[in-house]
Amino acid sequence: MKRRVLALLLAATMTLGLAACGSKEEAPADTPAPAETTDDVEAPAEDAEAPAETAGEEIKIGVLLKPESNEYWSSMKAGILEWAEGQDGVTVEVLCAESEDNITGQLEQLENMISKDYDAICAAPLSLSNLVEGVAKACEAGIPIVNIDEAIDADAVKEAGGNMVGMYTTDNVLVGQKGAEFITEQIGSGQVAIIEGTAGNATSNDRTKGATDYFTEKGIEVVASQPGDWDRLTSIDVATNIMQANPDVKAFYCANDTMALGVYEAVVNAGKQDSIIVVGTDAVANAKESVKNGEMAATVGQDNVGIGIACCELAVKAVKDGWTADPSAEMPIEYIDSFLVTKDNVDQYLN
């Protein structure tokens, strides 16, 4: 636009035009010419305002997580928000589901987010299928969706005509295997029990499979594998009933730490803390303290904050790249490694 003004000034008067040309050609010297040319072509009538609009434009990411009552998700939320504070041109808003069993409520949250001005959304579902409909609607609205940690049924999304940008998670089969391997090393042989998450949950299914397959391979008898619904109080009751029905059980593997802490409480209530070991998953702060205090035997940790941040970074990239849903494409999945926390190494994982 400045060059057009110069051309008019030159036509008006040679003397003043030459002086003006000298000063105005120096001012935009640091601005790349192609950017000016593109602005002139796309919006010639608004060239004077375009640079200001571009400079102030921000990418707005919405994040929908599982309940904040679970430390795994509350610490992920805090980590994402801390990361966002250091990002130029990116704003992030994080919402959490009200409870583990509010399946339809979380879908309503996602649908409300679609109606707002988010450029992309990252979501961790309560179940494999509860957000499929919402993801399809987001794709229809042109909003990229990144799957955080907990799987959304990618095949069902594709059948509905959508797709997702990608997913960062932990290999949860390997997580369950690590927990079972530690238990096997400690007890050698005998009976064990598994406390699952909610029935049908993909993460719970994978962790349960990893643990069950390893126990079976090593000749360890799994006398019970029951849902604890990711809930501490529920898990106390479930573990109590299992111990009463199976007095020789030697260990519990739990699909998350909230349940593991409840199971350990049940073990103490039964007076069996010296004969039954409890291993959890997620390495939340309370579980690590329990391990340090010689209560829980171990927990399999995940880099939950790293997973959340990686998903947000992927969402920003999708917006910048102009990503659109292609139902024929395979959704890429990236795995972030897990780690075992025991009394021998817990100090290095404590904040």
Determine the pLDDT at residue 167: 98
12-32 pLDDT, tens digit each:
333 333 333 333 333 333 333
Distance CA 65, CA 25 (A): 52
Determine the pLDDT at residue 71: 92
Residue 341 covered by a domain:
no
Residue 265 covered by a domain:
yes
DSSP string, 225-254: EEE-TT-HHHHHHHHHHHHHH-TTEEEEEE
For the beta sheet containing 277-282, the strands, ordered from the edge strand earlier in sequence to the opposite edge, are: 221-227, 191-196, 249-254, 277-282, 298-302, 338-342
Same domain, residue pair 186 and 161: no
Determine the pLDDT at residue 91: 97
Determine the pLDDT at residue 142: 97
Q: Which long-range contacts (CB under 8 A, 24 or more apart) does 101-106 make?
A: 101/126, 101/198, 101/229, 102/126, 103/127, 103/130, 104/130, 106/64, 106/130, 106/131
Same domain, residue pair 120 and 12: no
CA-based nearest residue to 323, from 117, 143, 54: 143
Same domain, residue pair 295 and 176: yes
Same domain, residue pair 193 and 268: yes
Threshold 0.75, pTM exceeds: yes
Distance CA 63, CA 65 (A): 6
Same domain, residue pair 195 and 244: yes
149 touches 122 (CB < 8 A): no
Number of CB atoms found within 10 A of residue 102's CB: 15
Residue 45 covered by a domain:
no
Q: Per residue of the chain (351 residues), give pLDDT as tens.
A: 333 333 333 333 333 333 333 333 333 333 333 333 333 333 333 443 333 333 447 999 999 999 999 999 999 999 999 999 999 999 999 999 999 999 999 999 999 999 999 999 999 999 999 999 999 999 999 999 999 999 999 999 999 999 999 999 999 999 999 999 999 999 999 999 999 999 989 999 999 999 999 999 999 999 999 999 999 999 999 999 999 999 999 999 999 999 999 999 999 999 999 999 999 999 999 999 999 999 999 999 999 999 999 999 999 999 999 999 999 999 999 999 999 999 999 999 997
Distance CA 298, CA 260 (A): 10
**Residues near 208 by Cβ (< 8 Å), separated by ≥ 6?**
176, 194, 196, 225, 255
CATH number for 204? 3.40.50.2300
Determine the pLDDT at residue 224: 98
Six-digit token string for 314: 């992927």
Same domain, residue pair 158 and 237: no
Determine the pLDDT at residue 46: 40
Residue 332 DSSP label: P
Residue 296 covered by a domain:
yes
128-158 pLDDT, tens digit each:
999 999 999 999 999 999 999 999 999 999 9
Is the Cα torsion angle 243, 249, 250, 254 positive or negative in sign? negative
Six-digit token string for 295: 């209560």
Q: Can you tell me which residue has the tokens 């998700």? A: 73
Residue 346 covered by a domain:
no
Distance CA 135, CA 140 (A): 9
50-76 pLDDT, tens digit each:
333 334 479 999 999 999 999 999 999
Number of CB atoms found within 10 A of residue 74's CB: 17
Same domain, residue pair 297 and 183: yes
Same domain, residue pair 177 and 296: yes
Same domain, residue pair 187 and 271: yes
Domain coverage including residue 191: 172-302
Same domain, residue pair 15 and 79: no
The letter for the amino acid at 54 is: T
- Total domains, the chain: 3
Residue 350 covered by a domain:
no
Same domain, residue pair 203 and 117: no
Residue 53 covered by a domain:
no
Beta-ladder partners of 196: 227
Determine the pLDDT at residue 285: 94
Residue 351 covered by a domain:
no
Same domain, residue pair 197 and 103: no
Distance CA 334, CA 149 (A): 10
